[in-house]
Amino acid sequence: MSIANDYFNQMKQSFLDKISDEDKEKYKKFGEAFFNSFDLEKGCPIPDSFSLEESLAYIIETIKSGLHPNYLSIEEKSLVQAAYGDDWYKKFGYDSLES
């Protein structure tokens, strides 16, 4: 296992230790819905299986739970930017996207 994997697993465990069982269940359900929204044989999303609103809500909850916006993917940042504008991270108390 690489150092990066060890670091990721430590971050993941730290996150899981801090959230409630109710939130863990919400993340589990989201993950299942997200996984089931793709046709793995065709390599593409299943139409209308996953809404942008659900994706945005998940990203926002992730930030509220403590993930620094810098660690979001480019796609996630783009979605939040489209919803809240260029300075979207300020809505969550951050001065910049740098950690």
Scanning the chain, the segments in alpha helix (DSSP H) are 3-18, 21-35, 52-64, 74-84
pTM of the model: 0.50
Q: Are 38 and 45 in contact (CB under 8 A)?
A: yes
Q: Are residues 88 and 71 in the same domain?
A: yes
Percent of the chain with pLDDT over 70: 95
Structure tokens at 69: 């916006």
pLDDT tens for 58-93 read: 999 999 999 999 999 988 998 899 888 899 999 999
Residue 1, domain member (yes or no) = no
Range(s) of the domain holding residue 87: 51-99
Higher pLDDT, 22 or 45: 22
DSSP-based three-state secondary structure for 51: coil
Amino acid (one-letter) located at 62: T
Amino acid (one-letter) located at 78: S
Q: Report the number of distinct structural domains present in the chain.
A: 2
Q: Are residues 99 and 55 in the same domain?
A: yes
The model's confidence at residue 29, banded by pLDDT at 50, 70 and 90, is confident
Residue 75, domain member (yes or no) = yes
Structure tokens at 3: 């150092």
Residue 81, domain member (yes or no) = yes
